[in-house]
Amino acid sequence: MLLVAFDLEGPLSPQDNAYELMALIPDGRRLFERLSRYDDLLALSGRPDYEPGDTLKLILPFLLAHGINETHIRQVSEKALLVDGAAECIRAIWSKGWQPCIISTSYEPHALNIAERVGVPPDLVVATKVDFETLEGAMTDDSYSLILSWQKRILECPSDDDEQLKALLDEFFWQHLVKFPIGIALELLVMGGRRKTEALRVFLSKFGLPFNHCVVIGDSITDYHMLKTVRDEGGLTIVFNGNEYALPYGVIGIASLDLKSILPLLEIFAESGLEGCKDWVCQQKPQNDWDAHYQVLSEETWQNALPVHRKFRQAVRGQAAKLG
CATH topology identical between 3-14+84-128+192-322 and 17-76+130-187: no
User: What is the dotted CATH code of the domain comprising 3-14+84-128+192-322?
Assistant: 3.40.50.1000
Strands 293-296 and 125-128, bridge-based pairing: unpaired
Residue 7 and residue 128: Cα distance in Å, rounded?
A: 13
Position 49 scores a pLDDT of 79
Strands 3-6 and 125-128, bridge-based pairing: unpaired
| Domain residue ranges in the chain | 3-14+84-128+192-322, 17-76+130-187
pLDDT tens-digit series, residues 203-241:
999 999 999 999 999 999 999 999 999 999 999 999 999
Identify the band that residue 195 occupies on the pLDDT scale cut at 50, 70 and 90. very high
Residue 176 per-residue DSSP state: I
Helix/strand/coil percentages in the chain, nearest 5: 60, 10, 30
Strand order of the β-sheet with 236-240 is: 125-128, 99-107, 3-6, 214-218, 236-240, 252-255, 293-296
Residue (of 260, 8, 217, 24) closest to 112 by Cα position: 8
Contacts 24+ apart (CB under 8 A), 258-261: 258/83, 258/84, 258/85, 258/292, 259/11, 259/12, 259/83, 259/84, 259/85, 259/86, 259/88, 259/89, 260/84, 260/85, 260/88, 260/89, 260/92, 261/85, 261/292, 261/294
pLDDT tens-digit series, residues 91-150:
999 999 999 999 999 999 999 999 999 999 999 999 999 999 999 999 999 999 999 999
Q: Which region among 34-43, 64-73, 260-269, 291-300 has the lowest average model confidence (pLDDT)?
A: 34-43
| Mean of all residue pLDDT scores within the chain | 95
Position 221 scores a pLDDT of 92
Identify the band that residue 65 occupies on the pLDDT scale cut at 50, 70 and 90. very high
Q: Collapsing DSSP states into helix, strand and coil, what is residue 155?
A: helix
What pTM did the predictor assign?
0.94
Fold of the 17-76+130-187 domain: AF1437-like domain fold (1.10.3870)
Alpha-carbon Rg of the chain, whole angstroms? 20
pLDDT tens-digit series, residues 22-34:
999 999 999 999 9
Residue 297 and residue 253: Cα distance in Å, rounded?
A: 6
pLDDT tens-digit series, residues 246-292:
999 999 999 999 999 999 999 999 999 999 999 999 999 999 999 99
